[in-house]
Amino acid sequence: KTGAYTASDGEHDYQLNICGALDPESSHCSSGGSHGACQSKNGGGQPYGMGFPSTNLTALDGTLTLEYVGGDICHDEFKRSTQISFVCGDLEQPVFVSEEDDCTYNFNFPTKLACHNDDA
């Protein structure tokens, strides 16, 4: 896919790029750096980088997961991070799941590529 994926939690908009940085020309994330994910309030507001991109997939409880770390400061203590879990499905679009107290943002990404042959 060319360009960023988008998701929302009703209050915030998120832009995510898989395995690469967001394009500063087309992204609302102008917080500096080459973040792989970004958060902003619906309708505008200060954007926040949610971690730098990685291409290292890890298996967490049998689910392939991509993690971006080193984002903008949150709650004066934590650096924002993003965890994208690839799950079996055909949406092909990230879905916001939760924000943890330590400013880790969790997304599921339903994709046919995560399905076992007997699931598809």
**Per residue in 20-43, pLDDT tens?**
899 877 666 765 568 999 999 988
Q: Give Dmax over CA atoms of the chain in angstroms.
A: 47
Distance CA 87, CA 39 (A): 22
Number of other CB atoms surrounding residue 118 within 10 Å: 5
**Per residue in 63-118, pLDDT tens?**
999 999 999 999 999 999 999 999 999 999 999 999 999 999 999 999 999 997 66
Distance CA 24, CA 60 (A): 31
